[in-house]
Structure 1
Amino acid sequence: MVLPAVPEIYEEEDVFTAVDARTDALQNLRELGPPDLVYLVKQSKTNPTRQTGVYHHVTGIDASSSASLAAYVNTLTYSPVDKQNKVISGVYCCYNAFSHLDMRVEVKIPGSLESYCIDERGDKRVATDALWLETFLCAVLRSYTYADDGTGDAIKKIVGVRRFNPVTNTEMEHKFLEAAERLFFMGRQLSSEPETQVPNTVANHLTSGLLKYIHTTGRYASGINLFEKLRTKDVEVSSLLARVLISADEEVQAVRLMHDALQDVPMDYALLDCQAAFCLSKGEGELALECAKRSVTAAPSEFSTWARLAEVYVALEQWDLALLTLNSCPMFTYQDKDIPRMPPPSRVLLPILAESALDEIDEGQPKQGDPHDFVHPSLRKLHATGYQGTFLKAYELLTKIAAAIGWDQLLKIRSDVFVMEEEYRVERQQTTKPSHSHNASTVALHPPASPNTATASDDGDTGADHSDRPNGTENGIGNLEPTEASTIEKPEHTVASETVKSGNEDPDPSHGDYAQFQNKRLCERWLDNLFMVLYEDLRIYTIWRSEMAQSRHQSLDYKKTATEWEILGELAERLHHFDEAIEAYRQCLSIRFSPKAMRGILKLYEKQGDTRGMLNALIRLIAWQYRWYSEFSPDLLLLVRKLIEEEGAVKVRSIVQATNLPQPVLDLTHQYCQICATFRSTGSDV
């Protein structure tokens, strides 16, 4: 198997500056830590006094001992592109997120090896076996959690990262799962996905990584065995076991497990959420609704429970309750993955191995020093492209509602359930007597029944008092006049929550419609912003489609740069216009190769069940990933495994081999097929 090329980032003036920068950054790490840093010191063969520092990052290396890390450093001593220098020493740095230590191995070539760890203050400590066990597990989790999904977004974020598959055989799997079992109940120390506010036993980076590994490789029996053992120690693990059983098509056993476990822990929100998701997947919306409501009651401060309830209401087409539930979601500040903060390098060398060279991928790519693609300012300022975490999930739900009922109907329902600014002003003027009842959010908990306005508090689901939320999000008032595009484009002032007194004042008896106003909620400012971002997305999308139609009518070419087509494809996909997204992605690929556009085309082939089309796209994506030093992407491996399950390994290999592309490029895809054979995936028996 050919390994990816080695990127080299040079420090020609100050040696070890990158290592010092990593040490300084240790105290700011909050997640699993950055990729491993490998730093080499090279000495000129002609001038022994001249030394140069060279480094790159890497994931997926076996970090179970100092010997395995030193072995990786030794593989770098010979460079096919640098004949003028020789490596005289190397440092391998690997972060232990459990103990917040940076494990380091210093290698002298030839000669000695020293291993130690650096704490957040920069002090040296002794590296023990227990610390190496933690480090090994963190290294595997980083490989899966921080891997690229095939679009190239993760690869482009950090320059020069080699990505390897950390679990290549069943022996390594046993080692990984054994470490996970021993350290499982320490998992909450590793933080969690951005949608989880407080990491717990079943929601943290350890459980996320385990589930992703099991789902990617299809090693369900190993996962079931692991969680069965852990469940004997803590019944809460039942939710993880149930999810694996459902994925393994053991649904009857999963339903029985969830039922039995809820007898012991009736308010386990993870179990209730798993039940809701399962019922929803079976089209049982009413059953899912009851489970989702109980889940919200069990964990009212978690975003995931509210988001699931909103998803159920969307499935039931109860749009008003879906909006009210979405408005009640507690939103968390997005914590990005830890990335290395390095000083500016002297130069960067990004070599290409002949095995990954493919003219189709390289042609048309901008050369160094070339100007970037022109992108129209209106496309650059689409804020939805930058959403992450809870805001991304909330926006996805909002766009799903808009796609189902249309923008006009969405605004109508919005004005029915939320207080509009003009309404607030009118009521403000007409209220006269202050009283000591509830504030506006509390009034929403138990409003009088109204035939005109549906309220979620009747079901006890979306009426959470905002003051009870740990994140303390502010309430705003809907500041858009729904029919005025100009005000949506540039919103007026939003009334701050401190000035809102509508719930603290008695209604004017002369105002007959006040009961309806009293039943309305205050729209959270973040949701108000989502409406405006959605409006901008829809506006740009409509302009694009109108211009396209006009160009076709006049038999003119509609020209955009590759980057603009990529952005338009993302926009259409975000708004659930799948066919238009594919059209834009194809236009992008006609100009030059784009992993994001090819990933979009891959979704089309997957939807159509086109095996040959999927493999053609996968071959190119795998080659592009390998060209940028990544031999492993869990998402691409999952797609290859699913194809082998459906079509059989012989057919998949035959289609790949029959493709009119260079053999080394085809061999890269065969490596993914070989992983499935190693793990004895369904359909891989030859």
Structure 2
Amino acid sequence: MNLFSWRKKPQPPNTKTESPKDALFEQVTENVKWSKKLQESPKIVEHQFGESLGLRTRVLRTLVDADQLGIGPPDMIHATQFDKFHQEEVGEYHYMTGLDVSSEITPIAYLNALRFISNSSKTEGRVSTYCTTNIFSKVDIRIRYESEKHYQVNAIECHSGTTNVQLSQTIWEETFISGFIRSIIISKDKERKLPGLVEIPFGLDNGLTYCEKFVPVICKFLPRGIESGCDLTKHSQPSLKNNYLLHSLQEFLMISPNLYDVTIDSLEDLIKNDGENELCYRIAMIAIMVQSGTNDMVAIKTINNTIKKFYPLNFLHLRQHDLTNIVDLLCLQIEFLLSKNDYELALPIAKKITELSSDNFDAWYKLSECYLQMGEYELGLLSINSMPQMPMVDSCKEAMTEQKLEGFYYQNPSGIGPHSELQSNEFNHVCSSMKEYKEKDLESLIFGRIVMPNGNKRGYIENIWNGSCLQLGPIYGPQSKNLINFVSPQEVNSIGNPLLLRRNSMAKQLSWSLSQVYGLVMFIVSSIGWNSFLELRSKTFVMEREYLGTRRTLTQEIKSKRLCERWLDDLFLDIYDDLKIAMQSQEHREQKYSGLEWELLGLTLLRTRNWSEAVACLRTSIMARFDLVSAEKLLKLYLSDDFTEKGALDPDAVLALLVDKVSYESRFYDTFQLPNLLILRKLCAFEGVESIRNHVYALPSAQKGFVSLMDRFLDYIKEMCE
């Protein structure tokens, strides 16, 4: 079964139509193409044969039972190898996102290619398994493949482990949508990545026509978006506006602006033909119009008409479901006004939303932003103090992390280099199965029990791959906000400022909501100065410790003030520490630091809005050793609307950073790189695609593997963005 019928080639009249599966295995050239890609796949060597499949089953059951499945784990591919010398089976596996799982056809092609790269004598009895999770029906699709004529496709219930689920078209549609969501969300979030993960570019290699076909499928599925969940650190609950499915579609459209019209047309058709879900499609269409910034008048009319049609009277006595929807609509209205810097018109709407939904962080944030942009700092502080506190981490994401899918397989190089934890017999087996590598070269590819070859050298830049990539390995997981946990302990211990180290430790990392509040407070500080801010704080708030010490004899002055929430008081102290670090850095400008120390100082200066100094520190960190975190922060500055005011980098410097970042991430099997595509799209908008291409060709480090990857990115941008 294939969700996307357009991929089937038309058959001439009076010819026998073979099944898609039979035709699949006659396309040897396709297998050759896949096999070339597979040379780049990592190999995680199991301790015990089959343990990864058992772990996946247990993890899925645990997550579903706790209602914490979220977007689900990445797809997993398990392959059976046979150690002829020891006469035993050896299990290898890796993770994947981005593969088309709208039917079994593409996964089977992938598994067949695994078999194709080995000669027939070695593949007798070899079994490969492709696993992909359907987050809607909560089943794990498992394709067990032995040969062209022997394979099984089952849907395993995550809770019970049974295979009673029938593989219907609906199941395959849900599975495809699940895969799409994971591909987008994981590409944007390093904390969700794993060593041994292969990220295939979703839709990028298939062109505009393919994308124009699957976008309507996603649009049709939007009424079930709430089932996909949302980031609970940002929203208290999923809604028609705040869910992973719509968010993923919006993220995809940001790198594919030529699809905006197709998407809006699809939603308009659905509004006409599916009246039951009209409000859902309208909210999605408004969100996409506001994001695109090219349909202002239509967006305004759609917002007003939608509110009048569905909520013609007033917003009182609404059911919770209706209340959530009207809040979503009003939030979109504010987003539109803020994008036009119309804070005065946005202010009363923000006030209204906080009345309707007092636990809506987004509404309180926008209300505070309006006050601050209008110079009403005291009212802004009071609004900040009223903000609901969101969870430090998303419970579903945290549960997935705690399951440690990487197990005890990965060994962090810790600034020293790869270190193998394979037994001698396991290492010998790896050597025999990878004869194209010399034993000495192979040792530099093994991180614990994960073999990370990259035969095609796609994205290869010598000093990146043989430098930081070997020293640091993949940067992933909750600790990826800086490099403290990726460099050597000696480098960490060499940091002379304990306050700098403490302020950037894992224990002091801010949640998403606190980081947003931090930015608002620093806006006030940078506008009026620290001393004036302290006076404003003293005028506005009474601190908890002051209140508790005088509550028996409260003065009129104290009674007139608002009690400062403890979390906000703690944040003030953190800001003071960061400003102290920033001031000390000004006094020791000539001092020499390690690469890590420059990075941590740069991150601290970013938080305190010392833009030019932060840029200088982060660039110095990269000069000491390519630093993925520093590069990411600098490129994020370039994406901001006011980047010219933030110690902006010139286009050549941005491209140089981007080139190194693309190379680093491609070394560890990420050829999607959605954040990098956003940067490249902005560069091309200013400089032109062909101009950027010529710059890439002229780079001294531009070797064949890297140029081919950048060509593919630039070709995509030319087709989807111009």
User: Taking structure 2 as the reference length, what is the TM-score of the superposition?
Assistant: 0.75
Match for residue 342 of structure 2 among 268, 275, 284: 284
Match for residue 382 of structure 1 among 480, 489, 503: 503
Cross-structure match for 2:419: none
Match for residue 363 of structure 2 among 302, 305, 311: 305
Aligned partners of 1:95 and 1:197: how far apart in 2? 25
- The structural deviation recorded for 1:6 is 0.9
Match for residue 176 of structure 1 among 214, 218, 232: 214
Match for residue 293 of structure 1 among 341, 351, 354: 351
Q: 1:520 to 1:236 in 2, by over 3 A?
A: farther
- The structural deviation recorded for 1:80 is 8.7
Gaps of 5+ in 2: 1-32, 316-325, 410-421, 423-448, 473-485
8 A contact 1:25–1:341 mirrored in 2: no
1:242 aligns with 2:286: yes
| Higher mean C-alpha deviation, range 614-623 or range 208-217 | 614-623
Q: 1:231 to 1:395 in 2, by over 3 A?
A: farther
Match for residue 606 of structure 2 among 570, 573, 595: 573
Cross-structure match for 1:583: 616
- CA deviation string 1:236-290 (max 9, x = no partner): 5434323322324221222222222232336522222222222223232211111
AA aligned to 1:410 is F
AA aligned to 2:199 is R
Aligned partners of 2:117 and 2:602: how far apart in 1? 41
1:24 aligns with 2:58: yes
8 A contact 1:619–1:666 mirrored in 2: no
Match for residue 344 of structure 1 among 380, 388, 408: 408
Sequence identity percentage: 26
**SS of residue in 1 equivalent to 2:153:** strand
Aligned partners of 2:228 and 2:139: how far apart in 1? 13
- CA deviation string 1:198-247 (max 9, x = no partner): 11122111111111111221121122123323445323543432332232
Match for residue 52 of structure 1 among 90, 96, 108: 90
Matched residues, number = 584
8 A contact 2:635–2:679 mirrored in 1: no
- CA deviation string 1:350-388 (max 9, x = no partner): 123434332331454364899445223433322686223
8 A contact 1:361–1:592 mirrored in 2: no
Q: 1:67 to 1:593 in 2, by over 3 A?
A: same
Cross-structure match for 2:223: 185
8 A contact 2:368–2:381 mirrored in 1: yes
8 A contact 2:240–2:283 mirrored in 1: no
- CA deviation string 1:448-489 (max 9, x = no partner): xxxxxxxxxxxxxxxxxxxxxxxxxxxxxxxxxxxxxxxxxx
**SS of residue in 2 equivalent to 1:55:** strand
AA aligned to 2:605 is A
**SS of residue in 2 equivalent to 1:51:** strand
Aligned partners of 1:410 and 1:318: how far apart in 2? 13
**SS of residue in 1 equivalent to 2:96:** strand
Matches within 5 A, 1:424-443: 424-425=547-548, 427-430=550-553
**SS of residue in 2 equivalent to 1:76:** helix
**SS of residue in 2 equivalent to 1:374:** helix
8 A contact 2:102–2:172 mirrored in 1: yes
Matches within 5 A, 1:479-628: 513-514=555-556, 516-548=557-589, 551=590, 558-602=591-635, 607=643, 608=648, 610-628=650-668
8 A contact 2:108–2:145 mirrored in 1: yes
Aligned partners of 1:207 and 1:537: how far apart in 2? 37
| Higher mean C-alpha deviation, range 15-24 or range 363-372 | 363-372
AA aligned to 1:60 is G
- The structural deviation recorded for 1:580 is 1.0
Gaps of 5+ in 1: 432-512, 552-557
AA aligned to 2:229 is S
Q: 1:7 to 1:203 in 2, by over 3 A?
A: same
AA aligned to 1:571 is T
| Higher mean C-alpha deviation, range 369-378 or range 103-112 | 369-378
8 A contact 1:602–1:613 mirrored in 2: no
Cross-structure match for 1:95: 133
Matches within 5 A, 1:436-475: none
Q: 1:677 to 1:544 in 2, by over 3 A?
A: same
AA aligned to 1:537 is D
Considering fraction of residues, name the structure with more helix. Answer: 2
Cross-structure match for 1:211: 250
User: Taking structure 1 as the reference length, what is the TM-score of the superposition?
Assistant: 0.79
**SS of residue in 1 equivalent to 2:669:** coil
8 A contact 2:181–2:248 mirrored in 1: yes
Aligned-residue Cα RMSD (Å) equals: 2.8
Q: 1:87 to 1:398 in 2, by over 3 A?
A: farther
Q: 1:239 to 1:646 in 2, by over 3 A?
A: farther
8 A contact 1:88–1:110 mirrored in 2: no
